[in-house]
Amino acid sequence: MKKIVLLSMMVMLSGCADLLPFGGTDSVSSSAQGKMNTCLMSEAQSRFQAGTLFNDTIPATAKSLVSTCMKKLALQSVGISEESQSTAENIIANLKNLSAN
């Protein structure tokens, strides 16, 4: 009887792991939802530190965060990392500076 109760509790807890905001286990954090949750938290923290998190309404900010993370995750899934995006931004900024001179 104890084994059945313990097994039932473990199944229930593992089912609820997807509801955790930061990913509960390695398998959850490596899932698409876990990656999205991690990205959303990172983006929110970045915007908070920059002082731009509360510039708009909560629904608009949430929509913007989701959109940004979906783009980032899509780029990562095709092999383009944030480092590549940063490199592209640097190239564009350098070209912009050269055209201004």
Query: Does the pLDDT of residue 22 top 80, yes or no?
Result: no
For range 57-71, the mean pLDDT: 94
Query: Does the pLDDT of residue 51 top 60, yes or no?
Result: yes
DSSP letters of 25-80?
Answer: SHHHHTSHHHHHHHHHHHHHHHHHHHT-TTSS-HHHHHHHHHHHHHHHHHHHHTT-
Candidate from 10-14, 27-31, 47-51, 79-83 with smallest mean pLDDT: 10-14
Q: For 36-45, write each residue's pLDDT tens digit.
A: 999 999 999 9
* Structural domain boundaries in the chain: 1-30, 32-100
Q: Which residues contact 8 (CB under 8 A, 6 or more apart)?
A: none
Answer yes or no: pTM beyond 0.75: no
